[in-house]
Amino acid sequence: MTDFPPATQWPPGWRINPSPPSVPADIVAAFRDMPVAAIGDAMSRNIGAYGLRQYHARLDEVLCGPAITIRVRPGDNMMIHKALMMARPGDVLVIDGGADVTQALVGGLIRTTCVAKKVAGLVLDAAVRDVAEWAEEGMPIFARGHTHRGPSKDGPGEINIPIACAGMAVMPGDLIVGDADGVIAIPAAEAAEVLEKTRAHLRKEAVIRETNRTGTADPERFDAVLRSKGLPV
């Protein structure tokens, strides 16, 4: 493991921290089968990224793994290359690019590196390019937009610091899950608890789904809400 200087020794705008321990592999594997919408329901329904779209083609492709967080100057990807040098198999690169879409931060060459490093995917509040390559199977990616215009490589930037990515707070090591519905970050220390809450929510949904299918849903479920607002039912 590389020994990085303490934060006080980095100039303003530059910092590299080591990655924290990964979420246990069995928990990561279990979350691959959990729909992001259900995870969000188990986490109060108001958490997760917004404004991003998937650039991989398959709707059933799932992104799941611990976060390496990266903050870059809009339009500059030097620290993304550095983070890829640090990445472990199964990591997810989560990039705060300031929601800028005037220059792409990642393209086909970075995709090749991601595949070789066996990262689990990318989430970036910024633009991509080489869209046809990202559409290929095997490297899920969520981004704000795309453009042909390429990035600079001058810095500054920071790795493994708290970031905000598309309205989603992310800490280094948080478990990131993405599917056709969107992307969510699960605090590493809460992952086991959220997993159980998500499983419980899915069991509850299965019961509701069956009553919807058979036409036996209890009307009181919604009538009580209407009455609480003083409305006739």
Among residues 39, 109, 52, the alpha carbon closest in space to that of 81 is found at: 109
Q: Which residues, including other chains, have CB under 8 Å from residue 53's CB and lie 6 or more apart?
A: 142, 143, 144, 145
Q: Pick out the chain residues at pLDDT < 70.
A: 1-3, 7-8
Segment (H or E) for 125: strand 121-128
Second-level CATH architecture of 7-189 = 3-Layer(bba) Sandwich (3.50)
Is the Cα torsion angle 49, 53, 59, 62 positive or negative in sign? Answer: negative
Percentage of the residues of the chain whose pLDDT score is greater than 70: 98
* CB distance 119 to 89 below 8 Å: yes
CA atoms of 17 and 4, how far apart (whole Å):
6
pLDDT tens digit sequence for 71-114 = 999 999 999 999 999 999 999 999 999 999 999 999 999 999 99
pLDDT of residue 9: 83
pLDDT of residue 1: 47
* CB distance 130 to 111 below 8 Å: yes
| CB-count burial class (<10 Å; 0-12, 13-18, 19+) for 13 | exposed
For the chain, give every domain's residue range: 7-189
DSSP state of 31: H
* CB distance 99 to 128 below 8 Å: no
